[in-house]
Structure formats: structure tokens, C-alpha cells
Amino acid sequence: MKIKDTKPQLFERTDCNIWTDSYIQQQMLKEHLNPMSDGASRKQESISKIIDFVLSQSKLKSRLLDLGCGPGLYTSLQKH
């Protein structure tokens, strides 16, 4: 991985990738798992409202596949 240690010029193109930087990855995961923040993933209250909406629009005993959308906070909850 290449790390740029100088400030780039405005709109300068580099071969650095923000998503493969270990610091950025750690901070993103930290925000996704922070239950008090709606910054990356949503707060539990928001997640519950979204789940209730999805379930209200779904047929009984239907299935939903959630691919690559964060740490699985929505799919880890089961509502009956």
C-alpha cells in the first residue's frame, strides 16, 4: 500500500486508495459499531424503524438478502 505523506494539490490524481488504508478501515468500523451514531450505520432506534417498515412491506415468511451493507446490524435482529 502506498501512503501519501504530503498534502496533495487540489484535484491531484494519486494511486492511493482511501478504502485500503488501515487507519481509515479502523475508523469506519468504529463508526459502524458505535450505537450512539447515525454517521455510518444507524442507531438502534433507526434500525428498528427501518426493519418495521421493511417487514410491513413484505409478505409473511418472506426472506431478504442483505449483501455487503455494513456489519450486519439489520440482519442480526429477528422480529416475529
pLDDT digits (tens, 9 = 90+) for 23-72: 888 888 888 888 888 777 788 888 888 888 888 888 888 877 777 666 67
CB count within 10 Å of CB 27 equals: 12
80 has a pLDDT exceeding 60 = no
Q: Indicate the DSSP class of residue 78.
A: -
The total number of residues written for the chain in this structure: 80
> Could you tell me which residue, 26 or 79, shows the higher pLDDT?
26
pLDDT of residue 1: 58
75 has a pLDDT exceeding 60 = yes
Which helix (H) or strand (E) segment holds residue 48: the answer is helix 44-56
Q: Which amino acid is at 63?
A: R
Q: Are 16 and 4 in contact (CB under 8 A)?
A: yes
Instruction: Return the ∠ at Cα 36 (arms to 64 and 75), rounded to 5°.
Output: 15
